[in-house]
Chains A and B, each alone.
Chain A
Amino acid sequence: MVFSRALAVLLVAAAVAPLVLPPFFLQLLTEIAIIGLFATAFNLLMGFGGMVSFGHAAYFALGAYTAALLVKKAGWPVLLALPVTPVVAAAGALLFGFFIVRLSHTYFAMLSLAFGQIVYTVIFKWKGLTGGDDGLLDVWPPAALKSPAAYYYFALGVVGLAMWALAAIVDSPFGYALKAVRENPRRARFIGINVRRHQLVAFVISGAFSGLAGGLFAFYNGSVFPDFAYFTKSFEPLVVALLGGVQSFGGPLAGAFAFKVLEWLISRQWPVYWPLFLGSVVIVVIVVLPQGFVGLLGRRGWARPGQS
Chain B
Amino acid sequence: MDFVTGLFPWITNGPLITVQVMSGLSVGMLLFLVSVGMSLIFGVTRIVNLAHGSFYMVGAYLMVTLVEVLPAQEWAFWAALLLAPFGVAALGGIIEIGLLRLIYRRDPLMQLILTFGLILVIGTLVLLAWGPDNKSVSRPDALAGSVRILGQPFPSYYLLVLGLAPVVAVTLWLIFYRTRWGMLIRAATVDREMLGALGVNVARLYTQVFMFGSWLAGLGGALAAPTVAVALGMDGDVLTTAFVVVVIGGLGSFAGTFISALLVGLLQSFGILIFPAVSIVLLFAIMAVVLIVRPWGLLGRPEE
Interface residues in chain A, defined as those with a beta carbon under 8 Å from any beta carbon in chain B: 52, 54, 99, 102-103, 105-107, 109-111, 113-115, 117-118, 121-122, 125, 231-232, 235, 238-239, 242, 272-273, 275-276, 278-283, 286-287, 290, 306-308
Contact = CB atoms under 8 A, between A and B. Distances in A.
19 contacts: A102-B292, A106-B48, A106-B109, A114-B244, A114-B291, A115-B288, A117-B240, A118-B281, A121-B281, A125-B278, A278-B120, A279-B118, A279-B119, A279-B124, A282-B116, A282-B117, A286-B117, A290-B106, A306-B107
B7 interface: no
Contacts of A54: 112
A238 to B, nearest CB: 6
A122 B281 CA distance: 7
Contacts of B292: 99, 102, 111
Contact of B113 (A113, A117, A125, A286): A286
B275 to A, nearest CB: 10
Nearest to A111: B291
A283 B118 contact: yes
Contacts of A231: 236, 240
Contacts of B48: 106, 110
A287 B103 contact: yes
Interface size class of B (residues with CB under 8 A): 35 or more
A276 B113 contact: no
A242 to B, nearest CB: 7
B233 to A, nearest CB: 11
Contacts of A121: 278, 280-281, 284
Interface of B: 48, 99, 102-103, 106-110, 112-114, 116-121, 123-125, 127-128, 236, 240, 243-244, 247, 277-278, 280-281, 284-285, 287-288, 291-292, 295
Given A272-B128, A282-B120, A125 B281 contact: yes
A225 B124 CA distance: 23
A101 to B, nearest CB: 11
B123 A118 contact: no
A283 B114 CA distance: 5
Contacts of A111: 288, 291-292, 295
Contacts of A275: 120-121, 123-124
Contacts of A113: 243
Given A279-B121, A287-B99, A118 B285 contact: yes
A112 to B, nearest CB: 10
Contacts of B127: 272
B259 to A, nearest CB: 19
Nearest to B115: A283
Contact of A103 (B102, B107, B112, B291): B291
A239 B110 CA distance: 11
